């Protein structure tokens, strides 16, 4: 009798544990399906107001489930930081036409309406070196980003080359004090 109760108790506990695990797996699968990545960004050129007088302070990158992100900090610029972003065959510096090599399957040429220096004093506000990687930015291990290159500041704009894995859809968002460029991991909207 004791043995039968013990076996029955073990079976009940085992089946409850299996049922709980199946429910958790089902919930995880449902969540993954319901959080599909945004689509429809496209890969065509995007732009807004061209130049500005508020200097660029910093550039940061981040990884997300659906895209990689690069953020240009332009404190005091409000929500209207100017920009022009497009895919190019080669990154050519605006000031000289010099070609700057950028690693990756495709290159985004990003122009931010903010100089890397203070227009009033000429003091450097963002210490990029033409042809060098962006200071403090490391894209190693990113799904989409492969390389970054500083192309300089010219006539109120800072130019950056962003090497990506392939020509993928991207979006540009302006928020107060920042310009945000997101490049999707793929065209399908799947993770």
In a domain, residue 145? The reply is: yes
| Residue 56 and residue 71 in contact, taking contact as beta carbons nearer than 8 Å | no
**What tens digit of pLDDT does each residue of 23-53 get?**
444 444 444 444 688 878 999 999 987 556 7
In a domain, residue 154? The reply is: yes
Phi, psi (rounded to 5 degrees) for 46: -135, 145
pLDDT > 70 fraction of the chain, expressed in percent and rounded: 80
| Residue 180 and residue 173 in contact, taking contact as beta carbons nearer than 8 Å | yes
Give me the domain span that covers residue 112.
46-184
Phi, psi (rounded to 5 degrees) for 34: -80, -15
* Average confidence (pLDDT) over 119-132: 95
In a domain, residue 92? The reply is: yes
How many domains would you assign to the chain? 1
In a domain, residue 98? The reply is: yes
CATH code of 162's domain: 2.60.40.3500
In a domain, residue 90? The reply is: yes
In a domain, residue 190? The reply is: no
The pTM is what? 0.80
H/E run at residue 26: helix 2-34
Higher pLDDT: 150 or 17? It is 150
| Cα–Cα separations (whole angstroms), residue 19 to 8, 12, 55 | 16, 11, 58
- For residue 79, pLDDT over 50 is answered with yes
In a domain, residue 33? The reply is: no
How far does CA 89 lie from the centroid of its chain? 20
In a domain, residue 8? The reply is: no
- Per-residue pLDDT, 72: 97
Full strand arrangement of the beta sheet holding 157-164? 46-47, 83-88, 106-112, 157-164, 145-154
């Amino acid at each position: 009798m004791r043995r039968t109760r013990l076996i029955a108790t073990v079976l009940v506990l085992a089946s409850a544990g299996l049922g709980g695990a199946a429910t958790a797996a089902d919930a995880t699968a449902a969540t993954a399906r319901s959080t599909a990545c945004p689509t429809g960004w496209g890969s065509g050129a995007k732009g807004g107001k061209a130049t500005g007088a508020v200097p660029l302070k910093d550039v940061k990158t981040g990884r997300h489930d659906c895209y990689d992100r690069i953020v240009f900090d332009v404190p005091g610029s409000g929500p209207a930081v100017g920009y022009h972003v497009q895919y190019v065959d080669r990154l050519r510096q605006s000031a000289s036409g010099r070609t700057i090599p950028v690693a990756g399957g495709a290159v985004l040429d990003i122009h931010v309406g903010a100089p890397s220096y203070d227009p009033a004093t000429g003091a450097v506000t963002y210490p990029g070196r033409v042809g060098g990687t962006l200071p403090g930015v490391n894209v190693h291990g990113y799904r989409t980003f492969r390389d970054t290159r500083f192309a300089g500041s010219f006539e109120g704009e800072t130019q950056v080359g962003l090497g990506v894995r392939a020509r993928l859809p991207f979006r540009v968002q302006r928020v107060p004090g920042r310009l945000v460029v997101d490049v999707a991991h793929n065209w399908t909207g799947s993770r």
